């Protein structure tokens, strides 16, 4: 297997299930030589990730994935090559983390109404500094009584995370839990001031081909690249966004969006057995 890269993954400091050190050990098995930890709205895991990577001669790129809003869209923007000691970046992300905790506390009564009990103390004692819905679901599922409530609501004993999310936490769910999102312009400017470059994460997950104009508008706001290769993209989407990036002079990146225990991660764990994000992508990203 040729050496490869993975420029998007998540640890237990946001909504992943593994520690940064565990992620590095996983990457060693997959012969990944360049990697980026892109936790949501937090850079807390960067220090451990970098220290573990040095032991295995894996090059790391300091990164973050920020939830953003633009017009009617909720988009994820990746910040690469950021200064993880930038005080403004820390302050803004810390504010989103605090707001997130308050929002989670506010849905506890709603959860009780549908028969679910959330152990807030256990949730808040975990490593996550920005707490994702996946973290909430993991804690809820530890209680056998909650498990029965979920199974009854879904009408099945075996289910996955996204089914729980849609049923309870989506916009139409009784316990809607939206992300804390920065305006896209603010996020792009924040990444730039922290010395980084902004890249639109898995656009095919949020936009249709007829909405490419949104990417053009973001580029005018300072967007520098597109994550063309993603586990969320089929081959048509990957090719489409690669051509779009080349046509508009945008950086091309790729990443698995590995979380550790979410639907699709089983496929991703074998992802590099049949396709990989080639090292050539990294070689061509001059700003890294």
pLDDT at residue 260, as a whole number: 84
DSSP track, 153-219? HHT-SS--HHHHIIIIISTTSTT------EEHHHHHHHHHHTT-EEEE--GGGT--GGGHHHHHHHH
Give the E-state strand segments of 50-190 in sequence order.
59-60, 63-70, 73-80, 182-183
Segment (H or E) for 146: helix 144-154
Tokens of 11: 């640890």
Per-residue confidence (pLDDT) for residue 261, from 0 to 100: 73
4, 29 in Cβ contact below 8 A? no
pLDDT for 263: 63
pTM of the predicted model as reported, rounded to 2 decimal places: 0.93
Q: What is the pLDDT of residue 274?
A: 43
Please tell me the predicted confidence (pLDDT) of residue 279. 80
Q: Are 177 and 107 in contact (CB under 8 A)?
A: yes
Alpha-carbon separation of residue 94 from 43, 216, 258, 281 (angstroms): 10, 30, 23, 32
Q: Supply the pLDDT for residue 188.
A: 98
Mean pLDDT in each 10-residue stretch from start to end of the chain (288 residues)?
Answer: 84 96 92 94 98 96 98 97 97 98 98 97 97 96 96 94 95 96 98 98 96 98 96 90 96 91 59 62 76
What are the Cα distances from residue 26, in Å, to 104, 137, 183? 31, 24, 34
């Amino acid at each position: 297997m040729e050496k490869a890269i993975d420029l998007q993954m998540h640890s237990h400091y946001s909504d992943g299930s593994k520690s940064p050190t565990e992620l590095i050990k996983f990457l060693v098995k997959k012969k990944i030589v360049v990697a980026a930890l892109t936790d949501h709205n937090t850079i807390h895991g960067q220090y451990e990730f970098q220290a573990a990577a040095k032991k295995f001669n894996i090059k790391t790129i300091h990164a973050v994935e920020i939830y953003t809003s633009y017009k009617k869209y909720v988009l994820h923007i990746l910040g690469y090559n950021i200064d993880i000691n930038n005080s403004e970046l820390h302050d803004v992300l810390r504010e989103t983390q605090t707001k997130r905790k308050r929002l989670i506390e506010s849905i506890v009564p709603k959860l009780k109404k549908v028969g679910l009990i959330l152990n807030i103390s256990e949730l808040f004692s975990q490593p996550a500094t920005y707490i994702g819905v996946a973290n909430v679901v993991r804690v809820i599922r530890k209680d056998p009584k909650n498990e029965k409530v979920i199974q009854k609501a879904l009408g099945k004993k075996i289910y996955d995370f996204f089914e729980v999310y849609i049923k309870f936490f989506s916009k139409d769910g009784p316990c809607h839990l939206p992300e804390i999102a920065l305006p896209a312009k603010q996020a792009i400017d924040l990444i730039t001031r922290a010395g980084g470059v902004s890249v639109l994460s898995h656009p095919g997950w949020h936009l249709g081909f007829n909405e490419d104009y949104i990417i053009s508008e973001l580029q005018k706001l300072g967007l520098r690249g597109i994550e063309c290769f993603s586990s969320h993209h089929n081959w048509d989407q990957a090719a489409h966004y690669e051509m779009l990036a080349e046509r508009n002079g945008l950086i091309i990146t790729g990443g698995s969006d590995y979380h550790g225990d979410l639907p699709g991660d089983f496929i991703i764990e074998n992802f590099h057995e049949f396709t990989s994000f080639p090292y050539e992508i990294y070689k061509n990203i001059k700003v890294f």
